[in-house]
């Protein structure tokens, strides 16, 4: 099994984070977030300068894209759908198939340096060398990491990316406003859909739990992240066994991490492989996780979709603080 992240760089990140806490405390946090935003939109983080994080994570789509899967810089096909990004600080694990990646700093190494498949295709040291040659980035790193030696490093870049990603907070959907006491925020159809979603007939909230609509944010997942990985009923795949690739257990084949449903209506196609084009079809695909989906009427599906539409956060997808910076280093 290929390891998704370089152990040496992970150790470097962990050590640098501890040093930062000891030396700088909270100093530079806003500058670190802004640096992370710059990096999120900078294609120089990829091997050939053609792919940024934002290439696949588009703000208007809830920080995913409209493709079933997105090939990397080598053109090799990807295996899994790009995940939406929201409320990432709440999660116990960060990829569809690997519960061991419990920090955003570790997850970042998968698209940046991973080879199963190649995504951005950077090699350790490339980012530091490329960005370190730019005076604008040297100043930005110094502001973001005051008092820390080393100048521009891969580890600092990854920490800055993670700091920015933790600001992608979704808390202003129609559903959120209804919870805060606005009775007009949810339509009657959305209320009926939520009742179906939470009721014993479908029990969708068993996996899509809590305000983030994923059991990957549940307290129990901190103790055992694998509890948030489920097989919903898709046909078995010989090329992607999900959790089974990590554990080697046949029983874990086809188990993937529950995605949050925030902004789900913006992000077709659906499921881990992007094989399902609509929300209605995605609901119908949960034959193992919720066998009662087979008996849903057209009206039931319409109500469920109305509820899922109420989980769209227009504030998040329009926030200029999360968008492409007007002034970028390296440009």
- Same domain for 12 and 156, yes or no, is yes
Q: Write the burial class of residue 233 (CB in 10 Å: 0-12 exposed, 13-18 middle, 19+ buried).
A: middle
Residue 263 domain boundaries: 174-312
**pLDDT surpassing 70 at residue 228:** yes
Q: What is the rounded CA–CA span in Å between residue 95 and residue 243? A: 10
Neighbours of 75 (CB within 10 A): 7
- Same domain for 161 and 182, yes or no, is no
Single out the residue in 140, 168, 196 at which a domain terminates.
168
- Same domain for 133 and 187, yes or no, is no
First-to-last CA distance in the chain? 39
- The answer to whether position 40 is within a domain reads yes
Overall domain count for the chain = 2
CATH for 149: 1.10.760.10
Cα dihedral value 116, 6, 168, 277, nearest 10: 10
- The answer to whether position 135 is within a domain reads yes
- Same domain for 164 and 178, yes or no, is no
> pLDDT (tens digit, 9 = 90+) per residue, 1-16?
333 444 444 444 344 3
Tokens linked to 35:
């640096």
Q: How far is CA 164 from the centre of its chain?
A: 13
Residues ≥6 apart with Cβ < 8 Å to 200: none
- Same domain for 28 and 159, yes or no, is yes
- The answer to whether position 327 is within a domain reads no
- The answer to whether position 331 is within a domain reads no
> pLDDT (tens digit, 9 = 90+) per residue, 73-113?
999 899 999 999 999 999 999 999 999 999 999 999 999 99
Q: What is the rounded CA–CA span in Å between residue 53 and residue 42? A: 7
- The answer to whether position 27 is within a domain reads yes
> pLDDT (tens digit, 9 = 90+) per residue, 179-222?
999 999 999 999 999 999 999 999 999 999 999 999 999 999 99
Rounded percentage of the chain residues whose pLDDT exceeds 70:
92
Q: What is the rounded CA–CA span in Å between residue 144 and residue 138? A: 10
> pLDDT (tens digit, 9 = 90+) per residue, 314-328?
999 999 999 999 999
- Same domain for 178 and 217, yes or no, is yes
Residue 291 carries which DSSP code?
G
């Amino acid at each position: 099994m290929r390891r998704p992240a370089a152990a040496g760089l992970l150790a470097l990140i962990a050590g640098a984070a501890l040093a930062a806490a000891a030396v700088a405390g909270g100093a530079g946090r806003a500058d670190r977030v802004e640096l992370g935003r710059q990096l999120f939109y900078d294609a120089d983080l990829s091997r050939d300068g053609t792919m940024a994080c934002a290439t696949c994570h588009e703000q208007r789509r809830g920080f995913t894209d409209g493709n079933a899967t997105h090939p990397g810089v080598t053109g090799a096909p990807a295996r899994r759908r790009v995940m939406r990004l929201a409320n990432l600080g709440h999660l116990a694990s960060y990829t569809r198939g690997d519960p061991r990646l419990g920090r955003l700093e570790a997850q970042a190494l998968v698209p940046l340096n991973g080879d199963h498949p190649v995504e951005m295709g950077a090699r350790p040291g490339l980012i530091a060398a490329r960005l370190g040659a730019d005076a604008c980035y040297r100043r930005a790193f110094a502001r973001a990491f005051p008092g820390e030696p080393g100048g521009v490093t891969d580890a600092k870049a990854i920490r800055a990316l993670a700091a920015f990603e933790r600001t992608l907070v979704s808390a202003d959907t129609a559903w959120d406003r209804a919870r805060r006491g606005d009775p007009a925020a949810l339509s009657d159809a959305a209320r009926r859909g939520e009742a179906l979603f939470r009721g014993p007939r479908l029990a969708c909230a068993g996996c899509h739990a809590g305000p983030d609509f994923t059991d990957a944010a549940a307290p129990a997942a901190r103790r055992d992240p694998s509890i948030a990985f489920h097989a919903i009923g898709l046909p078995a795949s010989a090329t992607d066994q999900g959790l089974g690739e990590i554990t080697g257990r046949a029983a874990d084949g086809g188990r993937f991490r529950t995605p949050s449903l925030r902004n789900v209506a913006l992000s077709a196609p659906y499921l881990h492989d992007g094989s399902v084009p609509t929300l209605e079809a995605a609901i119908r695909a949960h034959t193992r996780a919720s066998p009662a989906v087979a008996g849903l009427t057209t009206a039931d599906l319409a109500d469920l979709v109305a509820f899922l539409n109420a989980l769209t956060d227009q504030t998040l997808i329009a926030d200029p603080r999360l968008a492409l910076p007007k002034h970028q280093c390296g440009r």
